[in-house]
Amino acid sequence: EIVLTQSPGTLSLSPGERATLSCRASQSVDSLYIAWYQQKPGQAPRLLIYAASNRATGIPDRFSGSVSGTDFTLIITRLEAEDFAVYYCQQYGRSPWTFGQGTKVEIK
């Protein structure tokens, strides 16, 4: 099983600041099969990024994804009020599909 480790667990930032979220895979993962999701309290997850760096439909361009080896990064360039949420990375290249444990982005 591929274990995804997200860091940090919590990110305390102010609106307008840049957020950098990391996700490290325990084994090699084809970047085609990495996604990022946003989840707000009481809501279902929402797809942000697929294939490591492609924005899903309707996702603003302040969200971007990148990859370097087994390290995957989600960047939110300028945090807006609606971006404070929990973010999960996921790999879907090798069964079982797995999620990271999540990074909470909270208002400082």
Partner 1 sequence: EVQLLESGGDLVQPGGSLRLSCAASGFTFSTYAITWVRQAPGKGLEWVAHISGSGDRTFYADSVKGRFTISRDNSKNTLSLQMNSLRVEDTAVYYCAKNMLSGDMRNAFDVWGQGTMVTVSS
Query: What is the contact surface with partner 1 in residues (CB under 8 A)?
Result: 32-33, 35, 37, 39, 44-47, 50-51, 56-57, 88, 90, 92-93, 95-102
As measured in angstroms, the least distance from the Cβ of 5 to partner 1 is 12
Nearer of residues 16 and 96 to partner 1, judged by Cβ:
96
Q: Parallel, antiparallel, or unpaired: how do β-strands 103-107 and 10-13 relate?
A: parallel
Nearer of residues 46 and 62 to partner 1, judged by Cβ:
46
As measured in angstroms, the least distance from the Cβ of 91 to partner 1 is 9
As measured in angstroms, the least distance from the Cβ of 37 to partner 1 is 8
Going by C-alpha positions, the residue among 96, 7, 20, 93 that lies closest to residue 50 is 93
- Give me the amino acid identity at 95: S
As measured in angstroms, the least distance from the Cβ of 62 to partner 1 is 19
Nearer of residues 70 and 99 to partner 1, judged by Cβ:
99
Q: Name the β-bridge partners of 90.
A: 35, 99
Tokens 């945090």 belong to 79
What's the rounded Cα separation, in Å, for the pair 19 and 76? 5
First CA to last CA across the chain, in angstroms? 35
